[in-house]
């Protein structure tokens, strides 16, 4: 297959079942919604060594958010629902509740699986938290030094797929990286997708297993430029 | 005390002893060094619920880095050295080794405490990793699909101080936030400092203890705008 | 009228007839399309002292551009078509033709008024420029040191309206600025709009006339905080 | 000559005498200083078709600015002092006076050549402008709707050099662009330099003259990839 002069080997891609929660973070400006979203999705490239896989899905205007403010949809992913609930609690509690002017709403209200993360974070209000109906949603209002933090009571989660990677073979490293950046731009337009690695790119594709008993994955030797005789 | 017409109550600030490692991340451009640095320091606001407190200390030019490429100094902080070693291993392994064109050097070569994080991450090379002398430093070269990842063998860490916060009292929320942003800009110029909360700002200052047995810290009731009769 | 607790005086806004051309700039990545767009729309706040009023209208994905690459829609505005043609020639010639990997397409193909800016810029090709049919459009291919520059032959322009401002009255400067930033975020979602002043905000609203014969507009004295007895 | 494995032909570079003014723009935050600086230096790549060549020289902290706020040093360049005075008047008047919370100071107080741009812009104050001594400088305070605009009375300018370009020969376009971005990062650290083209990069290097009588410069045919038989 060839698109725009690029040869594409239309083969398979790895994929794993994963549990996904979408959270909509709003704030006084798009800038501050992004600040909260970046913090909440950081250190979230792979569940091999991070507590979750997380990334920004999309930026939305006030016409697409419950409170009419600019928003950022993020996804938080874990292999099981138990870890996902923990991720929601800690990532929203540490990175969104603490972010100036931020609020957090569920991006999956219709999901069967629901976590009462908002209610649990409400305890930070030390008894002054209040359950309210706002914007047609059940939310908790938690008094903070900077104002009130509004968070939806329940956050939904669904089955998703992690993986779906593809390899870029390029004439040199810089061209490969530029191609990757262009790909990340394009993927950023696909609804429901995140690219959790740094800048959306994985520099260190791996293979299953290694020569060390304690290591379940290691560098993809067959594709390492400096290990190949042909050097590409 | 008054500076530029702002009344400043020159009193104490909380401070806690903490262990700090500085890591210098370099990449092909400042942009890609920042991408790696942001991922590596994300989800790192407070050790209450994050695996570490982490932030960007400074951006440096190629004249201040071992490999002559643009760099970003980050700090990773934990209460004890054991957790800090774990943080280095996971944050560098998941967020810098995986970042395109990135390299990682110790920012505290003279520290007494040293972790062999680079050697340990080397195992990802599946036997093809090599210990080398580069730029006058002992490094590991790990073959990746995108090229070779260079990481210093040892990363130093020292005793530091966490805390040093101050409260901003403002006429309204927006003015308080703008003041906070100006403060973060100024702190960003102070050598050796990071501001790990979202955008450098804590919206949710806390007090010790709560009415719930399971919660050791809760919202700083006395300063919550919506709980005060005077409303400010 | 009141929206979200903000009192809004629903009165008139100034408006002026103006001529508008929309140009779609594409590039290898969204980043490089934005770089070209920002340069091409800079120094473009008001035709009182700038050669045009110009700004970014929207960012679009490859699915909305002729060449399948990320794009940025900009608007360039002048009081008359003669100046607008000149603006197109100079802003595209100096800021887009010179921008790495950029291409320029008309964003108003159906407009009655058309300028052959692409053909004219083609002369830079020194005889090696070629008229082609690409992406269903008549374009010129101009050989550059960095590759070929693709620019549509004709750029359309239509009658538009400049003005439509509103005043923000706030408790203090910082709150007014934060409100303005939130407004600019919201306006950024409105199709067909630009906000050409710095960051979309005008700090220096003016009144018609002045006490000096040579100055046709001057500071809006009645609303200047420091000139009012009430200080707001 | 070879640096880091890159072959460098250490030959001459074109250079032209030019007149340069440095302006220090400060604002409430670094963000807003940058917003003003970008607008003021936009549409400023080459005096062939722009009213000036302009760019950002450096970002400085409050410890390096007269008013203790974050600042951005910009340079504005013209072939002669008459055009430079005009550029200062229009670029500062349209893009900095209009930018929220911005102030403008001379970055060349010791220069022999001085323009009273601040005094002239003061007329916008419609008689309410005041000459003051602030921060050890002679400034004008101009009442605006958003507060008072502070601008130094005189702006200095000196003889400078424009040019100093170098050509990048790369295996492909993406690698050339990445190399250019790395170069722009490095040049950004050199005191006194700007890179006025889009993103600091010129995609369209030119040669003197053309086959058309009306065109004094045209594409550098000898280096155009698509015109060369060897294709590089």
Instruction: Give the pLDDT confidence of D161-186 residue by residue, as tens digits.
Output: 999 899 999 999 999 999 999 999 99
Over residues C226-232, the mean pLDDT reads 77
Instruction: Give the pLDDT confidence of A11-61 residue by residue, as tens digits.
Output: 999 899 999 999 999 999 999 999 999 999 999 999 999 999 999 999 999
Distance CA B38, CA B40 (A): 5
What pLDDT score was predicted for residue D232? 59
What pLDDT score was predicted for residue B231? 62
Chain-chain contact of B30 with D70 (C-beta, under 8 angstroms): no
Topology of domain A165-227, per CATH? Alpha-Beta Plaits (3.30.70)
Chain-chain contact of A126 with B167 (C-beta, under 8 angstroms): no
Chain-chain contact of C68 with A28 (C-beta, under 8 angstroms): no
Over residues C160-184, the mean pLDDT reads 96
Residue D200 DSSP code: G
- Asked if A122 contacts A140 with a C-beta cutoff of 8 angstroms, the reply is yes
Confidence of residue D227 (pLDDT cuts 50, 70, 90): very high
Residue D222 has pLDDT above 70, yes or no: yes
Chain-chain contact of C99 with D225 (C-beta, under 8 angstroms): no
Percent over 70 (pLDDT), chain C: 99
| Spatial CA neighbour of A192 closest among A33, A52, A66, A22 | A22
| Nearest CB to B4; choose among D29, D68, D182 | D68
Residue C229 has pLDDT above 90, yes or no: no
What pLDDT score was predicted for residue D83? 98
Domain C15-159: assigned CATH number: 3.30.70.520
Contacts of C214 in chain D (CB under 8 A): 123
In this structure, how many other beta carbons lie within 10 angstroms of the beta carbon of residue D107? Answer: 23
Per-residue DSSP letters for chain A? -EETTEE-------EEEEEEEEEEEE-SSHHHHHHHHHHHHSS-S-TTTSS-EEEEEEEE-GGGSTTSS-EEEEEEEESSHHHHHHHHHHHHHHHTTTSTT-EEEES-TT-SEEE-HHHHHHGGGTT--EEEEETTEEEEEEEETTEEEEEES-EEEEEEEEE-------SSHHHHHHHHHHHHHHHTTSTT----SGGG--S--EEE--SSTT-SEEE-GGG-GGGSTT--
What pLDDT score was predicted for residue D150? 98
| Nearest CB to D185; choose among B4, B30, B185 | B30
| Nearest CB to B182; choose among D29, D178, D181 | D29
Q: How far is CA A88 from the centre of its chain?
A: 11
What pLDDT score was predicted for residue A145? 96
What pLDDT score was predicted for residue C232? 60
As for the ipTM of the complex, it is 0.96
Over residues C213-231, the mean pLDDT reads 89
Instruction: Give the pLDDT confidence of C78-88 residue by residue, as tens digits.
Output: 999 999 999 99
Residue D231 has pLDDT above 70, yes or no: no
CATH assignment of A16-159, among 2.40.10.10, 3.30.2420.10, 3.30.70.520, 3.30.1330.50:
3.30.70.520
Over residues C150-164, the mean pLDDT reads 97
What pLDDT score was predicted for residue D3? 86
Instruction: Give the pLDDT confidence of D24-76 residue by residue, as tens digits.
Output: 999 999 999 999 999 999 999 999 999 999 999 999 999 999 999 999 999 99
Rounded to a whole number of angstroms, the distance from the CA of D179 to the nearest CA of chain B is: 8
Residue D133 has pLDDT above 80, yes or no: yes
Distance CA A40, CA A76 (A): 9
A63 vs A22, A134, B72, C165, D45, CA distance in Å? 18, 16, 37, 21, 38
Report domain extents, chain A.
16-159, 165-227
Chain-chain contact of D219 with C126 (C-beta, under 8 angstroms): yes
What pLDDT score was predicted for residue C192? 97
Per-residue DSSP letters for C71-130? EEEEEEEESSHHHHHHHHHHHHHHHTTTSTT-EEEES-TT-SEEE-HHHHHHGGGTT--E
Chain-chain contact of D4 with B63 (C-beta, under 8 angstroms): no
Contacts of A148 in chain B (CB under 8 A): 226
Q: Across the 232 residues of chain B, what is the mean pLDDT of every consecutive 10-residue run?
A: 90 94 98 98 96 98 97 98 98 98 97 98 98 97 97 98 94 97 96 98 96 95 88 61
Chain-chain contact of D124 with C198 (C-beta, under 8 angstroms): no
What pLDDT score was predicted for residue C206? 94
Using an 8 Å CB-CB cutoff, list residues of chain D that contact chain B: 4, 28-31, 61-63, 68-70, 178, 181-182, 185-186, 188-189
Rounded to a whole number of angstroms, the distance from the CA of C60 to the nearest CA of chain A is: 9
Chain-chain contact of B177 with C178 (C-beta, under 8 angstroms): yes
User: A: neighbours with 3+ CB pairs under 8 Å?
Assistant: B, C, D
What pLDDT score was predicted for residue C104? 98
Give phi and psi for C107, each to the nearest 5.
Answer: -100, 10
Rounded to a whole number of angstroms, the distance from the CA of B223 to the nearest CA of chain C is: 20
Chain-chain contact of D175 with A179 (C-beta, under 8 angstroms): no
Q: From first to last of its 232 residues, what are the pLDDT tens digits of chain A?
A: 998 889 999 999 989 999 999 999 999 999 999 999 999 999 999 999 999 999 999 999 999 999 999 999 999 999 999 999 999 999 999 999 999 999 999 999 999 999 999 999 999 999 999 999 999 999 999 999 999 999 999 999 999 999 989 999 999 999 999 999 999 999 999 999 999 999 999 999 999 999 999 999 999 999 999 998 766 6
What pLDDT score was predicted for residue C231? 62
């Amino acid at each position: 297959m060839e698109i725009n002069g690029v040869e594409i080997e239309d083969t398979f891609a790895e994929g794993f079942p994963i549990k996904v929660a979408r959270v909509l973070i709003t704030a006084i400006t798009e800038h501050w919604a992004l600040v909260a979203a970046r913090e909440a999705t950081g250190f979230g490239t792979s569940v091999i060594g991070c507590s979750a896989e997380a990334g920004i899905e999309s930026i939305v205007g006030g016409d697409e958010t419950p409170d009419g403010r600019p928003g950022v949809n993020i996804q938080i992913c874990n292999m099981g629902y138990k870890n996902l609930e923990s991720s929601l609690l800690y990532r929203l509690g540490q990175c969104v509740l603490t972010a100036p002017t931020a609020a957090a709403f569920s991006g999956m209200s219709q999901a069967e699986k629901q976590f009462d993360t908002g209610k649990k974070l409400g305890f930070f209000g030390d008894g002054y938290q209040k359950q309210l109906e706002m914007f047609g949603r059940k939310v908790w209002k938690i008094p903070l030094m900077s104002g009130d933090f509004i968070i939806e009571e329940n956050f939904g989660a669904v089955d998703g797929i992690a993986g779906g990677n593809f390899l870029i073979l390029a004439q040199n490293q810089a061209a490969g990286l530029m191609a990757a950046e262009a790909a990340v731009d394009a993927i950023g337009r696909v609804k429901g997708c995140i690219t959790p690695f740094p800048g959306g790119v994985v520099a260190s594709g791996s293979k299953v297993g290694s020569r060390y008993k304690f290591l379940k994955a290691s560098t993809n030797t067959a594709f390492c430029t400096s290990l190949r005789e042909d050097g590409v």
